[in-house]
Every structure is written in C-alpha cells, then in structure tokens.
Amino acid sequence: MWYGIGNTGLPNPAAAFVEVLGDATANLMFGAADIGQGSGTTMTQIAAEALGLSYEKVRVTWGDTRVTPDGGATSASRQTLITGNAVLKACEQAKETLAGVAAAYLGCQPEELEFSQNTVTKIDDATVTMTYKTLMAEMKAAGKMAVGAGYYNPTTTTLDPNDMSGIPYEVYSYATTICEVEVDTETGEVDVLKVVSAHDVGQTINQSMAEGQIEGGVVMGQGFVLMEEIEVSEKDGSIKNPIFSKYIIPSNLDVPEIYPILVESEGGPGPFGAKGVGEPALIPIIPAIVAAIEDALNVQFTKLPVFPKDIVAAVKEKEAADKNKNN
C-alpha cells in the first residue's frame, strides 16, 4: 500500500511557537490536537532534539486556541509531518539567536557548534563547551531572547479537474501487511491468527507509540472487515445500531498476535525524515484479511464487511458450482 500524507492537493499548514527560558527549559506551543496518537510527545521529542535539551526540559502546551497557533486538523496522517516541521522551524529560529551568543562566548562560528544534552559544544573540539544554563545567562546579559515561530505547509498543487494531474501529496507512506486466518466453513467464523504489518515511517520518532498506532490500526481494520456495519434506516436515515450491543467491535478475545515492523527510509521532507502512520496503520490489514479468506476458500468477496453468513453463503455457492461442474 502507498498512502499520501496530508490533505489532498490543498494548502494545509500548521504552526508552532517556542521560547527557551533563563533556566534552560523551553516552552513549546502548537495547535495540533493529541487524540491519543501521541503528537504531544512527538513534538516535545522533536523540539528537545532540535534545541539540544533533554526531553524533560521541554514543557508543551497544545490545542488551546487562546494561546497556541493553528495546527489544522488531526487528520490525514499529517501532524508528524506538518506540525513536526513547524516545531523544527520554530526551534531553528530560536537556536539561531542562541548559536550567535554561544559562538561569541566560545570564540568560534555558530555553524561549528552542536547543541546536545543541555550542552553546547564545538563539533571538532569537545573541550570548547558551555552548559545551556551558562548560555542562557549570557543571553540575559546580552539582552537577547531565544524565541521562535515556525509554520509549515507541504508542497502540493491543486489537481487539474480535467485529468486529476498534479502533486496531491508531498510525501507518501508505504506499508505491507500479511495475515494468517482460520475460516470455519460450517459457521463462517474467521479467526485472525497472526498479523505482520510493516510500515515505512521514514524515521521513527517514538518506537512504542508508532507500534501502538500500527497495532490499533490492525484491530480497527479487523473490525471493519469482519464485524462492523452501520445499519441505516431507509425510513428516516437514522442509525439503527448506535450501541455497542448491536455494533460489535473487536474485544481483546478477538485480536490476533500482531507484529509491527518499522521500516526507516532515508530522507523525505518531514522532521528528521519522519512521515505519518495514523491511517496507513489501518488500511492494508483490510485487503490482507479479505485476501487471506479468499485464499482459504478459493472464492472472491467484493464487499465489506464479510460476515459469517456471507462466508457460509459463498461456501455453499461454490460447492454447488463445483458439483455442477463435476456432473
């Protein structure tokens, strides 16, 4: 599977603010809403890495429209790429001021310095070094402030309405999902036994969270194939099964063994080369499960979900067809 990251062929920027304070901690602010995928952690990690501060030194405020800049929607697998780059740009701006002051103090050029682990060090001479706290004292003495604002809009073009040509996405995520299923031909029940889901995430920012996204996506996709169907009333358009006793989603007894694999490709426009995995995590398991059922039964399914009754019907139909062929 390959899947575009960000809104399709439309501008969809996001922004971030940062300030490094006198005690060598930073305030980071961005609009991106964390709905459990972990963008708060991801952006904090990106800022810490970019500023050379340890993770604990970065305080984050997100999704508060009184103070944070717009981050656009948490959708389209876009926040790591877009808000991530905005955070990086904001930090680079703050760092430009910091590097100028540090270079003057250490007697070298700003581009010769490395910011890492709450310390500023000359890249080719580790003895030329200062702590971040010393740097912030120098900043104070010089009357300078380490602030940065950044925004990022992925490079896309609108699509030509005649032939849909253009550049809909700046970057794509790639994934392959393999699964093993057991199909009970008598009852039509499908057990998803094992799933291996490999995703090119560009650069992993947080391994545990990226794996969590993939595992969650696999199970949501499993539900989409085997269990979940919104029933709509033909009379008034209302949803007939808006409750969990009628709309069954996978429980922990349904889930397979899941083996997420993170593949790191080089480069790409995202922060440190990172790309989104939110939607890519969900999508490839869907055709993978259907293909596995088809492989087991040698029949084809052309609509979702594939319920036990559909499998029993398909098995019977195939048996009848095979019988006719043999007669």
Partner 1 sequence: MNKISISLNLNGTDRTILVYPNRRVVDLLREDFKLTSVKEGCSEGECGACTVIFNGDAVTTCCMLAGQADQSTIITLEGLAKDGELDLLQQCFLDEGAVQCGYCTPGMILAAKALLLKNQSPTEAQIKLAMSGNLCRCTGYQKIHAAVKSAVVIYKDKMAQGGESID
Residues of this chain that bind partner 1 (CB under 8 A): 35-38, 208-209, 211-212, 214-220, 243-245, 249, 251-253, 255, 258
* 91 vs 218, beta carbon nearer partner 1: 218
Q: How far is the CB of 269 from partner 1 (least distance, A)?
A: 27
Active site residue 279: yes
* 65 vs 245, beta carbon nearer partner 1: 245
Report the run of H or E that residue 144 belongs to, with start and end: none
> Is the bond preceding residue 305 a cis peptide, omega within 30 degrees?
yes
Q: How far is the CB of 258 from partner 1 (least distance, A)?
A: 6
Tokens of 298: 């040698």
* 11 vs 36, beta carbon nearer partner 1: 36
Tokens of 150: 């950044």
Tokens of 107: 């007697």
Q: How far is the CB of 218 from partner 1 (least distance, A)?
A: 6
Q: For residues 85 and 79, give the distance between their C-alpha atoms in angstroms, rounded to a whole number.
A: 9
Residue type, 230: I
- Cross-strand pairs, 5: 171
Tokens of 2: 């390959």
- Spatial CB neighbours of 311, under 8 Å, sequence gap ≥ 6: 183, 185, 188, 190, 293, 297
Nearest to 84, CA basis, from 114, 62, 53: 62
To 10 degrees, the CA torsion angle through 276, 282, 288, 293? Answer: 180
Residue type, 163: D
* 230 vs 253, beta carbon nearer partner 1: 253
Q: Do the Cβ atoms of 84 and 204 come closer than 8 Å? A: no
Q: Could you say which of 279, 294, 317, 319 is catalytic?
A: 279
* 164 vs 253, beta carbon nearer partner 1: 253
Q: For residues 180 and 10, give the distance between their C-alpha atoms in angstroms, rounded to a whole number.
A: 38
Write out the catalytic residue numbers: 279
